[in-house]
Structure 1
Amino acid sequence: MLSQFNQFLLNFSLLITSLLFAFLPLRHTERISADSPIRTRLVVGLIAGLIGGLLVLNSITYDGAKIDLRLVALVTAYYYGGWVSGGITMTAIIGARFLVTPPGVYEGLILATLICLALLVTASIYRRFAAQTFKDYLVLLGVGIGYSLPALYLLTDTFMRFLEMAFVYIIFNLFGGYVTYRFLQELRKHFQFVQTQQELALTDGLTNLANRRRLDETLAHYDQHGYAFSVLIVDIDFFKSVNDTYGHDGGDVVLRQLSHLLQHCSPDEALVGRYGGEEFVVLLPDMPLKEAVRLGETIRLACADQHFVFSTYPAFHVTLSIGAASSDQGETSFEVVQKADQSLYQAKQTGRNKVVGYSEE
């Protein structure tokens, strides 16, 4: 009995280690279910199939029976990816079972195939009436164990040996299933936490726009790949007077409302960010300078018409000065931003509340 427990522990360690590394490619995927895109379900099936195959190849042979944790991999595939993932995993497990089956001794292979098919059909029916909860995972695991026990009985020599192996099989599959489910749930929480922290590190806390770090990283990416783009640098005119009149809380309200306006006016592919203070940047991939200037004019007019509201003060207006430049006017993105900043300076020096596109003249 002790040797069987030791072998099961090795099988269990292989399961958890494989899960950790194999599911890393799916760490940014939203909640996985039978309604996920077919590509995601295929990947889940391939991963679970690989793990199931490895478990079979490292299974315990006992009186002609192959005892391992393949059932956990199979149920996990059914649970997350439906029949698509389950079918791929089943095929991989049967293929691995065939490889370890001695010639002419196919009883175990036939029984394993029948168990997989029965579980696939049962799981497909059960999923129509169940939610994706831990209880449903345990139900599928229990059904799989129930289907496996008669096969285990047929492949053992005596009833006492069957009871011995059944006890070990049930305990380890329930334990393996529980740990697998909890492990995957905690792994997803960890990945979501890391992703959230990464997003926060690239997001301006006040406006929820891209911060300077993200803008700089995007510009570096443009340089690396040679992407064409235009840039708008947007500055609020006389913002100091806004802070003096309405306080810093009023100034923050203006910054937040302006951030919403910039996002609303900009195309979906644009990256809108706060460069610092009252200065904003809009990166416009594949947009020539003339179109960028027109967009800047649209933003300027929309801002001039908008009523900014703070506390009990009457609604008020603010205006914008905007500088524009494009990637064909500089060798690097840094030079393009500098030229847009020069255009912004020109807009401020010539009366404010205007858009100026960079010109070599």
Structure 2
Amino acid sequence: MPNSSYVGSYDRRQHVNKSRAVLNSNKSFFARHSTVGDVVSTNHHSKDFIQTRNQYIVERLKLICLFFAITVPVSSLLDFIVFENVQAQLLLINRLILSCALIGLYQLIRRVSTVNMTRLVLALSFLFPVLFYTATELSLTQTMAYRNIPLSFTLTPYLIVAMLGLFPLTIAEGVALLSVISLPLAILEYIQYAGNYAAVIDKLWLFVLFGGISLWLQLGQMVMLMKLYRESTIDSLTGLINRRVLMRQVEDISKNSKRVQKSFSVMMCDLDFFKRVNDTYGHLVGDQVLVKVSSLLKHELRNPDVIARFGGEEFMVVMPHLELDQATHVGLRIADVIRKSSVMTDEQQEITFTASIGVTQYIAGEPIAQLFKRVDDLLYQAKEQGRDRVENTLALEPHKL
């Protein structure tokens, strides 16, 4: 039997979660269906999408760091044509320093590609070229008039800003990066200011113009990436993740369970006689049932629990840090909630339904495929024993409902 103290605390926590779920229902819908929240910040992004986008950024970041680590020193060939020999040599030294810094960033992101590391390397990969520009221009203006500096060099900061458009970033991230880039440039303008405010306004306008275009491109990429992600990973009917995303998340949960030395449980839920519902009332009513069950699962389970539509009328739930007896109690409650729920047809006919559930606990070191097979076997056993029941691996007798 489930631990009584745990059951009480779990039920109280569920009551809080239910209230919170009602208050956040609009937020959840907004997060799933609106692109506005997606492009403002990462607050609405799922953990899986954050990892997917991170990998996308990492691949582009590695390519850009490596590309410019090679091309920046090569650009010195042009410096010796448009600058005096002494100035070109100074540029060469600075370019070599920048190239070494970019190579270091490439090696860093290649070895460690966590989300926080990616953010750090992304910021540095744009900050270093800006620092190269500011340091070089300060040196050049000591030996030559600013108007004599080639346009190809004075446009460098604007080109750096434009390259931000290569990454799918949120508004918050884009503005933060623009702030990082603008700080050294603002200091440079302060040092070089000679009373010509019109020239400062002109540069500021160019920076805002290039920054605005860059932000627009970033947001366009974010929307496109989110759209493609949702189409390939989210079930359009229920809003739940699909099997592919579930497998990735279970792998992460199993690795985390080894690290914190806490197990987790999985629950497989299958609607009883669902084909009969489709055949009798039509597939639209069947879809209503699926949406209802998915809504019940999201409402009843905890925020850390992972819920996926595993098949046609099958749902899989992964419950981190729950032992088998605790997870069995959750399964019994879910089965009871489903049994008491219903949907209405267009003819105002009430349709009720039940579910068979299998529950098992992860055994440290076992393959995920074996874990899933065991819970699937338990689900099949629940159906063989008469349906509308919960089966687990540790109970001496089936849990009769």
TM-score grouping bracket, smaller chain normalisation: 0.5 to 0.7
Matched residue count: 269
* Partner of residue 198 from structure 1, selected from 229, 234, 246: 229
1:345 aligned onto 2:387: no
Contact persistence 2:331–2:390 (CA under 8 A):
yes
Contact persistence 1:236–1:279 (CA under 8 A):
yes
The residue aligned with 2:7 is none
The residue aligned with 1:159 is none
In the TM superposition, 1:101-180 aligns within 5 A as 112-113=190-191, 115=193, 146=198, 148=200, 170=202, 174=205, 177-180=208-211
C-alpha distance in 2 between matches for 1:204 and 1:299: 21
Distance 1:348 1:115, change over 3 A: farther
Give the letter for the 1:309 counterpart.
Answer: M
Contact persistence 2:161–2:178 (CA under 8 A):
no
The residue aligned with 1:213 is 244
Give the letter for the 1:316 counterpart.
Answer: I
Deviation, structure 1 residue 353: 0.8
Deviation, structure 1 residue 223: 4.6
Please provide the CA RMSD for this pair.
4.4
Larger relative contact order, structure 1 or 2 (CA cutoff 8 Å, min sep 6): 2
Distance 1:65 1:251, change over 3 A: same
The residue aligned with 1:133 is none
1:90 aligned onto 2:167: no
The residue aligned with 1:186 is 217
Contact persistence 1:46–1:85 (CA under 8 A):
no
Distance 1:54 1:177, change over 3 A: farther
Deviation, structure 1 residue 310: 2.6
C-alpha distance in 1 between matches for 2:208 and 2:185: 19
C-alpha distance in 2 between matches for 1:309 and 1:50: 62
C-alpha distance in 1 between matches for 2:333 and 2:388: 12
Contact persistence 1:72–1:177 (CA under 8 A):
no
Could you say what secondary structure the match of 1:308 adopts? Answer: strand
Deviation, structure 1 residue 218: 2.1
Gaps of 5+ in 2: 1-77, 83-94, 96-101, 110-114, 165-171, 397-401
The residue aligned with 1:50 is 128
1:320 aligned onto 2:355: yes
Distance 1:114 1:311, change over 3 A: farther
Contact persistence 2:233–2:244 (CA under 8 A):
yes
C-alpha distance in 1 between matches for 2:377 and 2:161: 62
The residue aligned with 2:146 is 65
Deviation, structure 1 residue 237: 0.8
Give the letter for the 1:178 counterpart.
Answer: L
Rg larger in 1 or in 2? 1
Deviation, structure 1 residue 274: 0.7
Could you say what secondary structure the match of 1:272 adopts? Answer: strand
C-alpha distance in 2 between matches for 1:337 and 1:347: 15
Gaps of 5+ in 1: 8-13, 30-39, 98-110, 119-143, 150-169
Deviation, structure 1 residue 240: 1.3
Deviations 1:98-157 (A, max 9, x none): xxxxxxxxxxxxx733759x9xxxxxxxxxxxxxxxxxxxxxxxxx963638xxxxxxxx
Distance 1:69 1:242, change over 3 A: same
Deviation, structure 1 residue 196: 2.9
The residue aligned with 1:356 is 391
C-alpha distance in 1 between matches for 2:200 and 2:240: 55
* Partner of residue 296 from structure 2, selected from 252, 258, 261: 261
With normalisation by structure 1, the TM-score equals 0.61
The residue aligned with 2:66 is none
The residue aligned with 2:32 is none
Give the letter for the 1:342 counterpart.
Answer: D
The residue aligned with 2:335 is 300
Distance 1:313 1:115, change over 3 A: farther
Deviation, structure 1 residue 347: 1.1
Give the letter for the 2:368 counterpart.
Answer: S
Deviations 1:232-289 (A, max 9, x none): 0000011111112211111011001111111111110011011111111001111111
The residue aligned with 2:6 is none
Give the letter for the 1:112 counterpart.
Answer: Y
Distance 1:244 1:75, change over 3 A: closer
Which shows bigger deviation, 57-66 or 322-331? 57-66
Contact persistence 1:231–1:282 (CA under 8 A):
yes
Deviation, structure 1 residue 226: 5.2
Deviations 1:161-201 (A, max 9, x none): xxxxxxxxx4x875565234213311231133113312321
Deviations 1:204-245 (A, max 9, x none): 122110111111222333455555321100000111111122
